Amino acid sequence: MSRCLIRGGRVIDPASGLDAVGDVWLCDGAIVAGPLEGDLDDELDAAGKIVCPGLIETQATLQEPGWDDDETIASGTAAAVAGGVTSVACLPETQPVVDNRAAVEFIRQQAERAGACHVFPLGAVTKNRDGQELAEIGQLVEGGAVALSDGKRPVANAEVMRRALEYARMFGRRIFHHSQVPELVAGGVMHEGLYSTLLGLGGMPAEAEEIMVARDVALAEMTGGSLHLMTISTAASVDILRRAKQRGVDVTGSVTPHHLVLTDAELQSFDANCKVDPPLRSSEHVEALVEGLVDGTIDVICSDHRPVPAEEKDLELDVAPFGIVGLETLLPLCVRALIDSERLDWPSLIALLTSGPARVLGVEAGSLAEGCVADVIVIDPDAEWTIDPAKFRSRCSNSPFAGWQVRGRVETVFVDGQRIFSVESVETVEDDG
Amino acid sequence: MSTTSDDQPEPPDGPVWTGEHLLGLEDLTAEEITAILDQAAEFKSRSLESNKKLDLLDGIVVANLFFEPSTRTRTSFSLAAKRLSADTIDFSSSGSSLSKGETFIDTARNIEAMGASLVVVRHRSPGAPHQLARHINASVVNAGDGTHEHPTQALLDLFTIREKRGSLEGLTVTLVGDILHSRVARSNIWGLKKLGARVIVCGPSTLIPPRIEELGVEVAHRLDDVLGETDCVNLLRIQFERQRGAFFPSIREYTHFYGMNAKRLKAARPDVMILAPGPINRGVELTQEVADGPHSVILDQVTNGLAVRMACLYMLQRCRAVGGSR
């Protein structure tokens, strides 16, 4: 028997509606009702801290197999844990693509070898993510794929998308879609607006996303399939999602923290670390995203972790790859965008990072209810620190947040009841005195 | 031709430009732009018109890094450096980093290691000179970055108009054509607005970028509508190489609405000035008779380009000398 007690923290568990000071008991990898008899293997004083379920990432790119110089399942999950993320759903943007059962099982096996946190593979919607023929979705599901996605490549063909939604429904799996009309963003680097005009950079209009969001919602409604809109970024997308939910369409949506704390004005620095897909939008879109989080339209905040090595981000802005390495800055950016601005309270924010993602992925995680898997984190909500990408556990440091003073820090992480990360154990605490 | 070393330029009175780099006109104030134009005027009379080589950049290495094909701008910068007695390195390569296997930043670092303290860069990607400025110690001059800015072209346009008209204040300048893909347009808008001109951009609606009005310009789609109120027409080249798809139905239709021809010239003001950044597509943006006619200042622009580039190189180097080795 392995017993652990996290004592006296503010325990927040959105899945069971709990927000109270108390103890959390872990025993043999599960949450149990305390108190337990006998010796404790681990004990932690969490007074003044928040104790909540481990965070769940819905779309990380872990680069393995294929680009393991940039990230591996081991380095990506180590980064996840350091950010308080105890479950990572990974996109099939690998080489070879996770479009067959063997590839799914390889990912699960590598995750087990890494032993850091839970990894939930997403399988491809179409073979080789080409958007033409359906992948063997049933086999992918049997191999352990929790949902289906072609990653950042939209399924442009509406007929293929229709069949994917219909077919995946048979297996109870959701289609995660990067909703974007490819021809409207061709050659695009940033949001189309005042700043793209100023900078002469190729524009990606908001409508490229909104047209596809509307198509996808219509197809989900038509087929009764389950749809997840990955990282929406515009006001109209939020509005379409809101109205679709009111009609009862099975559709969910996510946003990233960088779309909440940055705008397209950042591109004036020509810093490729601000080049993301979907692009950073103008401030009116950012406000609409926050409103979508406040009224519950948006289900999930995800880091959209995409490691890109420095030598590729140092290329010309129009050829540098898209992406921000995000797992280790997920929580403090959310605190800045939503808690510091008093738009959300802690239980609502934690829901967007735990129970929301668990529901969208359809996985058993993200709760502190008795019998649930003992993935628990302790957050110091007031700890102030400086983001230093050089200290990231990810193999890449493509972050526009270097040097940002942030608040809110994951201090301790338990996965399956085992303490696997403590902030004291790494040289990341402010040492500038 | 003789070399003079006796007299340094007059110590400037009034505002000066002390930039570390010349990346775009967005970054400059009206006073700084005027300081550059004044310096260029001095070089035009002291060097170009009297055929004298100056030794102001003696011992300095100027590197011209052209990652995109260019004849006019490259030779203009090269000659401007030589008229100031600098040594020059000319490096030309088309294509992006990816196609060459070496990043453009590495290329620039190599050239800098050869002793270049002024690096002139032309690149097809917006922001490439800005990225370079972060990675090298030399002063960077933007000689055109994709569809973003082309500051020395705008400076020579401003110089040419100011030389003929005395001032930009209150003049109406119409930029005609492909505004969306034009770095010349963006730099011109910044410079013209800062010096007090009224700016109209005129082109097919598909080639006018969104929210351009917020830069303080007016938008027109028919040249004939605005010709009568225009003092200077700047005919931008159709950037066939930057256009991804069909932005207008045909060259013939473009010329029908936007081509400057003898008939339009008659409808224009009698003292209208015709500028074109070149290279010009004769028969598309303007006809032979307009290009070579009395209203055209196209060749003055070329001469003035030399003076403006001499001024930029000299002032950047002077700033480096004052600021110590950066």
Q: Do B210 and A203 touch (CB under 8 A)?
A: yes
Q: Are A164 and A281 part of one and the same domain?
A: yes
In this structure, is residue A432 part of a structural domain? no
Residues A101 and A165 in one domain: yes
Identify all chain B residues contacting A193, using CB atoms and an 8 Å cutoff: 210-211
pTM of the model: 0.91
Q: CA–CA separation, A245 vs B215, rounded Å?
A: 40
- Ramachandran angles phi, psi of B254, nearest 5°: -60, -50
- pLDDT tier at B172, thresholds 50, 70, 90: very high
Residues A59 and A43 in one domain: no
Question: Nearest-CA residue of chain A relative to B215?
Answer: A198
pLDDT bin (cut points 50, 70, 90) of residue B325 is: very low
Chain B CB contacts of A192 under 8 Å are: 210
One domain, residues A70 and A46: no
Residue among A194, A311, A315 minimizing CB distance to B214: A194
Average pLDDT (B104-114) is: 89
CA distances from A308 to A191, B105, B173, B179, B294 (A): 20, 18, 45, 34, 56
Per residue in A269-297, pLDDT (tens digit) is 999 999 999 999 999 999 999 999 999 99
Instruction: Say if CB A242 and CB A214 are below 8 A apart.
Output: no
> A413 with A266, same domain?
no
Identity (one letter) of the amino acid at B216? G
In a domain, A388, yes or no: no
CATH of the domain at A38: 2.30.40.10
Give the active site residues of A. Answer: 304
Residue closest to B23 by CA, chosen among B324, B319, B312, B320 = B312
| Residues of A with Cβ-Cβ distance to B247 under 8 angstroms | none
User: Cβ of A198 and B126 within 8 Å?
Assistant: no
- CATH at residue A327: 3.20.20.140
Q: How many domains does chain A have?
A: 2
A193 CB within 8 Å of a chain B CB? yes
Query: Nearest to residue A10, comparing CAs of A61, A67, A59, A49?
Result: A49
* Three-state DSSP class for residue A32: strand
- Report the residue from B26, B126, B214 with minimal CB separation from A317: B126
Report how far Cα B109 is from the mean position of its chain's Cα atoms. 25
Measured between CB atoms, does A171 come within 8 Å of chain B?
Answer: no
State whether A218 and A81 are in the same domain: yes
**Half-sphere exposure of B137 toward its Cβ, with a 13 Å CA cutoff?**
12
Q: Are residues A36 and A166 both part of a single domain? A: no
Token couple for B311: 């001024």
Domain with CATH 3.40.50.1370 in chain B: 15-149+303-321, 151-300
Mean pLDDT throughout B70-88? 95
Give the gap in angstroms from C-alpha B210 to the nearest C-alpha of chain A. 6
Chain A residues near residue B214 by CB distance under 8 angstroms: 194
Structural domain that includes position A45: 3-51+373-382+404-425
Check CB contact of A310 with chain B, cutoff 8 Å. no
A159 and A296 both lie in a single domain = yes
Q: Are residues A377 and A278 in the same domain?
A: no
Mapping DSSP to helix (H, G, I), strand (E, B) and coil, where does residue A323 land? Answer: coil
Strand A3-13 to strand A18-27: parallel, antiparallel, or no bridges (unpaired)? antiparallel
Residue A236 lies in a domain: yes
> Please, which residues 159-198 of chain B have a Cβ atom closer than 8 Å to chain A?
183, 186
For residues A50 and B39, give the distance between their C-alpha atoms in angstroms, rounded to a whole number. 64
Chain B residue at shortest CA distance from A197: B209
Q: Which listed CATH number (1.10.3720.10, 3.30.2350.10, 2.60.120.10, 3.40.50.1370) goes with B15-149+303-321?
A: 3.40.50.1370
Q: Does B219 touch chain A (CB under 8 A)?
A: no
In 3D, which of A93, A71, A67 has the Cα closest to residue A398? A71
d(C-alpha B166, C-alpha B211), whole Å: 31
A45 and A72 share a domain? no
Same domain for A321 and A182:
yes
A179-230 per-position pLDDT tens digit: 999 999 999 999 999 999 999 999 999 999 999 999 999 999 999 999 999 9
Task: List chain B residues with CB under 8 Å of A198.
Answer: 26, 186, 215
Judged against a pLDDT cut of 70, whether residue B11 lies above it is answered with no
Architecture of domain B151-300: 3-Layer(aba) Sandwich (3.40)
Residue A23 CB burial class (10 angstroms; 0-12, 13-18, ≥19): middle
On whether any CB of chain A is under 8 Å from the CB of B98, the answer is yes
